[in-house]
Amino acid sequence: MLEHFKDKKVLILGFGREGQDTFKFLRKLFPKKEIAVADQKFDKNYLKKIKDYDIVIKTPGIPFKKLSGSDPDKITTQTEIFFDNCPGKIVGVTGTKGKSTTASLIYAILKKAGFKVHLVGNIGKPVLSSLLKARKDDIFVCELSSHQLYNLKKSPFVAVLLNIYEEHLDYYKDFNDYIKAKANITKYQGKRDFLVYNSRNLLVKKIAKKSQAKKLPFQGKYYSENIEAAKKVAGIFRIPERTVSTAINGFKFLPHRLEYVGKFKGIKFYNDSLATVPGATIGALNYLGSETQTLIAGGFDRGINYQKLGQEIIKSKIKTLILFPASGQRIWQELSSCQKELSSFFVKDMREAVKLAYQHTDKGKTCLLSPASASFGLFKDYEERGNLFKKFVKQYK
């Protein structure tokens, strides 16, 4: 394994969770080898070190566009090393939204069916920590972000492609660059491989058309698409329906993704803090239907287009909008010329947002936190945003 690394000068670029795992992996393979590390936390000029090494293992958080002057042939990633050396079968799962839930669900079904299965990648263990003990009969359910897929030259045995919406525009050259990264999950598949894909998403359908794999389309609304995709994967491994149903019924869905907080003062509250793009919020609105009267949205502005979300809000039964800066202002601009009667409030903290939600949502109706924006600025991350929402919902009841 990795014999060509033996006499090469190796640099780990980025020393977060994945970089540390790569270091431990290489140290076990080559106990006496000198392995260098470069990270912006230690050195602002860390990228200049690339030229002094034969092999550079890049962490997903560093965009390839930052390395444009470097020799692309010597840059690899943890994901690429895993795909090149894994003896077992890989089930790769990607999508702008829903990949963590879907990967966890597929893992739960395969485990229930008695397979030797591991949950790795963006959600589970970093992939290389599993590689040293990997065997031919192992199955690896691997959640793959677009950053991990970027520049990948291999595709998994089973590829699951859920959806594609505008996201991470600060990381890529443009939206097409992001789509190309996602497409790598099936780009190198052959006729013996499988592509499970959401035929409701037009960009996903476009990618599927070019795939050489056996195609298994599914149609799923937001949230139910996780289950539909997992069922298709179960079919590939010939798992009985009864086993699949038992695993799904016992599965606890992940927090912050259309999470039902409870019914308080006659109002239903849903926490969808993981909805960091407009497409996810549109999906949540469609899923919950006409009961949604109040939407809490907005947050960090990454220059994403909110036109479709504006159209969806106009079509919906929403009467109250509670908006965070700075994207909240842009969401409101999409509605400024509409004839619909809407109350709007601009807030800077979650306590005020929830207080207004209680005041302006009728009994029997729903209040949905689904920001369509990243959390940075006002909140540490989407988890803090969702947890604060739940805390104040219960506090004000």
* Range 274-294 average pLDDT: 92
- pLDDT class for 207, splitting at 50, 70, 90? very high
What letter does residue 374 receive in the DSSP assignment?
B
User: In this predicted structure, what is the pLDDT of residue 240?
Assistant: 98
User: In this predicted structure, what is the pLDDT of residue 170?
Assistant: 67
pLDDT at 70 over 90: no
CB atoms within 10 A of CB 340: 11
- Cα distance between residue 59 and residue 335, in whole Å: 40
Planar angle of CA 113, 116, 117, nearest 5 degrees: 90
Planar angle of CA 266, 267, 270, nearest 5 degrees: 145
- Cα distance between residue 71 and residue 48, in whole Å: 12
* Range 187-207 average pLDDT: 96
pLDDT at 220 over 80: no
β-pairing verdict for 158-161 and 89-94: parallel
pTM metric for this prediction: 0.86
CATH 3.40.50.720 fits 3-78, yes or no: yes
- Which is the CATH superfamily of the domain at 86-249? Mur-like, catalytic domain (3.40.1190.10)
- Cα distance between residue 282 and residue 352, in whole Å: 24
Mean per-residue pLDDT of the chain: 92
Taking alpha carbons only, the member of 224, 352, 225, 372 closest to residue 297 is 372
Half-sphere exposure for 390 (CA within 13 Å, toward CB): 17
Distant-in-sequence, close-in-space partners of 77: CB < 8 Å, separation ≥ 6? 57, 58, 59, 60, 148, 151, 152
Per-domain boundaries in the chain? 3-78, 86-249, 259-396
pLDDT at 60 over 90: no
What would you report as the CA-atom Rg of the chain, rounded to the nearest whole angstrom? 22
- Cα distance between residue 298 and residue 347, in whole Å: 10
Topology match between the domains 3-78 and 259-396: no
User: In this predicted structure, what is the pLDDT of residue 321?
Assistant: 97
pLDDT at 89 over 90: yes
- CB neighbour burial string for 309-334, b if at least 16 within 10 angstroms, e if fewer: bbebbeebebbbbbbbbebbebbbeb
- Cα distance between residue 357 and residue 368, in whole Å: 9
Task: Please state whether 346 falls in left (phi above 0), alpha (psi between -120 and 50) or beta.
Answer: beta
- For 34-45, what is each residue's pLDDT tens digit? 999 999 998 888
User: In this predicted structure, what is the pLDDT of residue 272?
Assistant: 95
259-396 in CATH: which number? 3.90.190.20
Distant-in-sequence, close-in-space partners of 91: CB < 8 Å, separation ≥ 6? 106, 110, 139, 140, 141, 142, 156, 157, 158, 160, 233
User: In this predicted structure, what is the pLDDT of residue 169?
Assistant: 66
pLDDT at 186 over 70: yes
- Cα distance between residue 58 and residue 75, in whole Å: 7
